[in-house]
Amino acid sequence: MGTLVSRLLVRFHGGMAVDDRVREAMARVPRETFLPDNVRAHAAEDRPLPIGHGVTNSQPFTVRTMLELLDVRPGDSVLDVGAGSGWTTAILAELVGPGGTVLGTERVAPLARTAAERVAFLGYRNADVIPALEGTLGAPEAGPFHRILVSAEARTLPQVLVDQLDDGGVLVLPVAGEMLRVRRAGGEITTTAHGRFAFVPLIEG
């Protein structure tokens, strides 16, 4: 799957292939920093790890696949829905660079607070994690965004998130078990599927 995605995304930014940029960004963000003490010893394992409240820190392979599909570019504005531990928010901050911004939203308020603290601890001034507003999906008041990453499974494609994409923007999320890449170009929406993945359900209301 990872090799297939890499072949599909033959794009270069700053002279570096997308998959190489993602690997390097992930290598610069220590996963263990975003894990509870009782599971930090397992940070190098390629599997999801529990972070409390019924939420997990996603499997590194899954994160890498989603970020390759997202194709984040330096200077982008990115929304990270279901930020959880804040690990993906920090990786996205690496990918957008100092000229970009990352906003993470998380439904579980204690997780959002801890994630924000960890992102700040690592020195990312271009990223933050906030508690998601009840009844609101995403952050429409802060959009539009160049890229939106969703780390929870929707039943159907949420139009409210598509509406938060800027022209030329990309949304990556699991829908009914299938990883989708959604691109908005003018009035046209194109969607491609990229394999089966399991996630916790997305709370849409």
From the list 58, 77, 85, 151, the catalytic residue is 58
Rounded Cα gap, residues 205 and 77, in angstroms: 24
Active site residue 151: no
Single-letter residue type at 98: P
Contacts of range 152-156, beta carbons closer than 8 Å, 24 or more positions apart: 152/81, 152/82, 152/199, 152/200, 152/201, 152/202, 152/203, 153/177, 153/198, 153/199, 153/200, 153/201, 153/202, 154/202, 154/204, 155/201, 155/202, 155/204
Is the Cβ–Cβ distance between 49 and 35 less than 8 Å?
yes
What pairing do the DSSP bridges indicate for beta strands 55-57 and 49-52? antiparallel
Q: Cite the beta strand spans of 151-187 per DSSP E.
A: 165-175, 178-185
Catalytic residues: 58
